[in-house]
Chain A
Amino acid sequence: MIGLASILQLGLLAPAYRPFIDPLPLTGWLWWLTLIPLAFGVSMVYKAIRVSSSFNTYWREVLLMTLQILGAMIGLAIGVHILIEWLVPVLE
């Protein structure tokens, strides 16, 4: 329901939105999706410095690093969720 409400709200706010001037009308959980372009951009610049001059493996390494960052973040989220929701109540 929260997801549906977010998308409906996005649709209602969209007409007033001015790109690059106003903030994106991201509500609810939608802002989490910005992690994907963030990881991709960081990987692009980091690998641009690190790869050999031929750049043969550039996009493969960018994709791999993006997936590694996303995997690590999802893993951390799951770990923290287990800690807070499961382990801490047991310890209390």
Chain B
Amino acid sequence: MSSRSANETFQPVAGILAFLLPGAGHAYLGEVRRGVHICIGVFFLFFGGIFIAGIDAIDREEDFWWFVGQAPVGPVAFGIDRIHQNMKAHDPPPDATADWFEMNRPARMRSLGHVGEIGALFATIAGMLNAICIIDATWHAPRRRRGERGGDA
């Protein structure tokens, strides 16, 4: 059975900030460098997923359970989902013919197969890792420099 660290504190504001922007919770707690690295890492994975699978990697309506994992990235995930839902409104009609595609270009392409799965996986892992960061910021135990007794610089 694990026990809580003696210097662990409950930091709800840091938890909320960590949800609003990855890494912001740690930055608020004075660990700016840690926060910056978290932010870069989470956004690298999240936007890496969108880069691989296109905007179709984020789809709250059609891929709900993937989105549950992606949502902890914060408002950015919800914003991109909103943009994607707006693009879907301009999808080709069900009876679209070759002539339609000559006259129009779909707002976005669907990602299928491995590419679609890998892209969704990237974004979902980003969300899951940020969930760990949110928990770490909310129930926070400051790490110290090696051989140092004070807080983070």
Contact = CB atoms under 8 A, between A and B. Distances in A.
A21 B80 CA distance: 11
Contacts of A24: 51-54, 115
A18 B105 CA distance: 12
B17 interface: no
B122 interface: yes
Contacts of B116: 23
B69 to A, nearest CB: 14
Nearest to B110: A23
Nearest to A20: B50
A64 to B, nearest CB: 16
Q: How large is the interface on A (under 10, 10 to 19, 20 to 34, 35 or more residues)?
A: 20 to 34
Given A20-B55, A24-B51, A24-B52, A49 B45 contact: no
Contacts of B133: 45, 48-49
A53 B54 contact: no
Contacts of B112: 23
B121 to A, nearest CB: 7
Given A31-B118, A49-B133, A53-B31, 10 more contacts: A23-B54, A23-B110, A24-B51, A26-B115, A34-B52, A44-B41, A45-B41, A46-B129, A48-B34, A54-B145
Interface of A: 18-24, 26, 31, 34, 37-38, 40-42, 44-49, 51-55, 58
